[in-house]
A and B are shown apart, each in its own frame.
Chain A
Amino acid sequence: MKEFAALIRILSASTKTNEKLDALSRYMATADPTDRLWVLALFTGRRPKRTVNATQLSTWCLQMTGLPAWLYEECYHTVGDLGETIALLLPPGKNISVHPLHYWINQLIQLEKADEATKQTFILNAWEELDTSERFVFNKLITGGFRIGVSQKMMVNALAATYDIPAATISHMISGNWDPQQTTIEALLNENITEADASKPFPFYLAYALETDPSVLGVPEQWQAEWKWDGIRGQIIKRNGQLFVWSRGEELITEKFPEYQPLLDLLPEGTVLDGEILTFADGFPLPFQTLQTRIGRKNVTRKQLQEAPVAFLSYDLLEWNGQDLRTTALQERRVLLEQLVEQINHPTLRLSPAITFHSWDDLAAFRLQAREKGSEGLMLKKLDSTYQVGRKRGDWWKWKIDPLTIDAVMIYAQKGHGRRSNLYTDYTFAVRDGEQLVSFTKAYSGLTDKEINEVDNWVKRNSIEKFGPVRTVKPELVFEIGFEGIAASNRHKSGVALRFPRILRWRKDKPLAEINTLEDLQQLLQMHKQ
């Protein structure tokens, strides 16, 4: 556990990718092999099921320290992380042990069926056996999410360096459906065995955002344009007579979308489709909010199936008749894809249309229609591009539409988490409604660190009231808020819900009197509701 705690300490302290990569590679070369497998699992979203919850941890921490609950809350708001708060509050352990990471993980897994008292005894004993930095990682194993900036890509690169296997191969080996309790790191990184696991998706090829005019890309004849859909990127795989649906987050989500089951019989053996999972009705995509009702639920109800039916808008064919097409040019893959979709002829499997255009000006005009089409912009793909691994510059670009914007005033501020703990970074904004201010959105990101410090300082000096972690502030600071979509909502006072709201810039030039009004928001809603 010491080595793992040290690894986490370096990963969370360093802001340099190379240092993090070195630390990970070192760990992967020297740590206990079972611990390595678990670190790989943890950093690729395969954490074990939670057997103890945050409330229980808090309760037992209060019991062990004898602190009042309100004081514990204050500490939590200052630290911004539950696992860390508890690690800092507990008295030093009396019974320090030297068990490896996998010992603790296995112990936690075995608690699944245990009663509350057994769990409590285990946790209290564990805390006595661990030092402060180990307790922190132990608590994080339970509460989830290390938030230390280790991407899948970094993990892949560390393994590639340690095991001397090409990164793209590693990427494929560690994707898909494997269980750290059922395999070993050797088995996972042994290609022959890996190939037998038919469910694995290909690593997704991701586009960078195009920040300039597309004319920098050369002649339009070399490019294919498509609408950019606001759904979940996914792969549909048929291999070994089974159907698998994967999200870009490498989550196996076959069960969530029963609409795709007919494709099991229709698709030829050895097919991998890349495309967008979307709620779709009458030939038109529904707002993302409807798709949200389908995610995060274990069982889909009949009502949901009716209200939020799902389709798959395919835009690439990665495997065809068992043949890996990723090194074939896009224009050839596209021909095969179009044939396949036509041949299947099922309403669930649709083709994401290619846009015919003759000049970049043409395309710019199409982009302006994106919102009406229910899309968030355009995708530009080079006709001769191969299907690469991860986010790469050059051949694929996303050209999103400019966000909708509203000038609003900050009315509440709350402390952030992790790197931003003890800083006021999470703000709630309001528009004017006559003499009143009506809150309509929160936004967390978009300011530079320097601006955040400045706002933080201002918040501390201009608070009106404090409700727990939230401060009401003088309505004075005006920000331009950008968002991708707007929908009616009866859950919010303002009557609207925004998609991807964020701060575009701090309008130091604008006084409160000049911010937008509730009426402006309602107009946007009328214009852009789908």
Chain B
Amino acid sequence: MKRYSAFAIAKNAVNYHRGWERAWAKPEPKPEYDAIIIGAGGHGLATAYYLGKNYGITNVAIVEKGWLGGGNTGRNTTIIRSNYLQDPSAAIYEKARSLYETMSQDLNYNVMFSPRGVMMLAQTEHEVRGYQRTAHANALQGVETKFISPQRVKQLCPIIELSGPRFPVLGALWQPRGGTARHDAVAWGYARACSDMGMDVIQQCEVTGITQSGGQVTGIETTKGVMKTKKLGIVVAGNSGHLADMGGFRLPLESVSLQALVSEPVKPCMDVVVMANTVHGYMSQSDKGEMVIGGGTDGFNSYTQRGSFHHLEETVRALIETFPMVSRLKMLRHWGGIVDVTGDRSPIISKTPLGGCFINCGWGTGGFKAIPGSGWAMAELMSTGETQGLAAEFGLNRFQEGRFIDESVAAGVAH
């Protein structure tokens, strides 16, 4: 792999940039792999990357029915934070956040991680107490957050209206090292690094069956032929239920549409990410200048990647209450993604009833920020076969045991 750098760009400029090679190879499938990951989104590619990097397993295929990074990795609002309340969540999201800090250098691909700070507004007394609780928990968990005053909120984000008639801003939970990253680049960077390790990223390859023998997985059937493996990772977000069917097991998941929108680009006016959970809205400004806005989920199952307009109305109203200037911006585009939501709205990184088959799903509305941590934990699980480390608490068995990881305690909305 030729390394990327300013020098390489200058060198290629001489030749009108005709010398750049493919970022990732376009391989034909091999008959057998040491491990196969289904799903070349951020989580699947990160799983493969850490299988190679941390465990030296590089005879790996990542199969993708569409194009890599084309699911929720490329459809989200790119917020990265780890100010979670419950211990298992804080651990995995903080691991992810810390990996984001060095991702550009690790992958030799600029993912534009921008630790600009994330604030979650407290707009009721109840929320104030909730975020104070999170701040206390985070302090013990090693996650740097603090509860800040309305004046500090205004200082960090001058376009906020503190004294809205309905929900005044009473303070905020502030994570200075949270931020955003360029979502597509995360998938592309991992794909390039995986390809460089000799892994096969196989796009336009739909899995049509999972083969098994004596309760152990033996391989997959795809539109590009049969591939054998003894270790299979299913990392397909909204399509998890479909794949689980093929594997002969069920999941506590429902797939719903989550919406987002962007405004037309304007000059920089907001340097931080703001989430307002009471009024259900969150917003940041991209490096291109668009205001990136997250909406809500539909209440009904859907695989359409589009959603109902009224959720956008609610989101936009909430944002105008919080940021009055938004009213004079224009909506450029809105879209939906299919998110898979579990019974406690926390993810599943787990063994399955099928031996050798592992599942990573249920990230719901908050998966992007977790990508490196999720891949790290899934790789650990797949290589050792044992539920330990970061993934330990995210097993499928927790639903039967009643051992939930419920984050709605602190923030009851899409994130």
Please indicate whether A and B come from the same complex rather than being unrelated chains: no
- A residues contacting B by CB (< 8 A) are none
